[in-house]
Structure 1
Amino acid sequence: MELLLQRAEEKQIDTIMDIYERCREELEQQGLLQWGDGYPSRDYFIREMEAGSLYVLLADGVLAGCVTLNEWQSPEWEDISWKYDDEWVVHAYFLDPEYQGQGLGSAFLGECESLAASKGYKSIRLDAYGRNKGANVLYEKSGYEYRGSIRFTSRPEGHQEYHCYEKRL
């Protein structure tokens, strides 16, 4: 399968929203309240696209995933003992449920890492919903190191813990 990571275009926003909604529904069916009503949203994706930070993964020319890559870090991350500097940060990373379970999650991360390295970044940081075992296993199998946990108090009680990860490129 040919994979291509490229900046998102305005004409892709509806497809991005469709994939995001299907991902969110699948997670909620598993009892995982990973994303709230306000994040990510259509407005979020449009803002990130306009900023040049929204990327899509094309698998054989079909939009299969989406991610925001930039330098912004959540204030909740301030107490994490990060090991590396010169980092790029992964936000709102998701893969179409139709493509999950085929090894594309790690390939998608690899594309993000290659792009980060080509831009001169030395590491990647991200957080993952603590109860999303699939995501946490994916990051750890992909060489990301657990750095600690944070709480997003804006999330419902019992759904606030997120694990922070980092990988040296």
Structure 2
Amino acid sequence: MDFIVASYEHIDKMCEITEQAKQQLRGLGLDQWQKGYPSREVWMQDAKEGCTYLAVEGGEIAGVFAFQITPDPSYAQIDGKWLTDGEYASMHRVCVSDDFKGKGVAGKMFQYGFEMAKKAGFRAVRIDTHPGNLPMQRALTKAGFVPCGNIRLVGGCEDGDPRIAFEKIL
């Protein structure tokens, strides 16, 4: 599997994969990603900033994730305790194409994120997900993330929504 930085030419496919993920979350009865996030505009901004990566297999986009090295405001307050007190990288908007589900794509994306974080000098990676998103929680645990507590999202259309916060020490 190869990883490339997403560009504007990939936006339509990224939106298609995001819509598949939104449909799956709806099917689980969850409100995660049902309020307009992530949107085409979010992906456009990510492409502009060069912070979103695509997992590519056989010329097809298998998955998408954003990788950030700036502190996430949603992680400033936690009902629980982070594993580390220092700087961290974070991964967001992780989604896998329906055509590649069950093929280990999410795990490979997490591994790539861990490698990027290490190269950038970070000791840990943080991520969050909806309390009811059990498939993602299983994928996070399998990748070595540890649940650290509960947070509330800050900003955007999901402002105030609860999430379980995870961290992995590299």
Give the TM-score of the pair, scaled to structure 2. Answer: 0.88
Question: For the Cα contact (< 8 Å) 2:71–2:87, is it kept in 1?
Answer: no
Question: For the Cα contact (< 8 Å) 1:5–1:112, is it kept in 2?
Answer: no
Equivalent positions of 1:108-147 (< 5 A) are 108-147=109-148
Equivalent positions of 1:40-55 (< 5 A) are 40-55=38-53
5+ long unaligned stretches in structure 1: none
Q: Letter of the aligned partner of 1:129 in structure 2?
A: H
Deviation at residue 120 of structure 1 after TM alignment: 2.1
Per-residue Cα deviation, 1:18-42 (whole angstroms, up to 9, x for no partner): 1111111122122122113332111
Whole-Å separation in 1 of the counterparts to 2:41 and 2:28: 26
Aligned residue for 1:79, secondary structure, equals coil
Whole-Å separation in 2 of the counterparts to 1:12 and 1:83: 35
67-76 or 122-131: which moved more? 67-76
What's the counterpart of residue 162 of structure 1? 163
What's the counterpart of residue 7 of structure 1? 5
Per-residue Cα deviation, 1:103-130 (whole angstroms, up to 9, x for no partner): 2221221111112212222210010111
Whole-Å separation in 1 of the counterparts to 2:94 and 2:120: 19
Whole-Å separation in 2 of the counterparts to 1:166 and 1:139: 9
Give the TM-score of the pair, scaled to structure 1. Answer: 0.88
Q: How many residues align?
A: 165
Deviation at residue 17 of structure 1 after TM alignment: 0.5
Match among 12, 15, 18 for residue 17 of structure 1: 15
Q: Letter of the aligned partner of 2:58 in structure 1?
A: D
Q: Letter of the aligned partner of 1:53 in structure 2?
A: C
Q: Letter of the aligned partner of 1:165 in structure 2?
A: F
What's the counterpart of residue 89 of structure 1? 90
Instruction: Give the aligned CA root-mean-square deviation in angstroms.
Output: 2.0
Deviation at residue 156 of structure 1 after TM alignment: 10
Q: Percent identity?
A: 24
Q: Does 1:32 align with 2:30?
A: yes
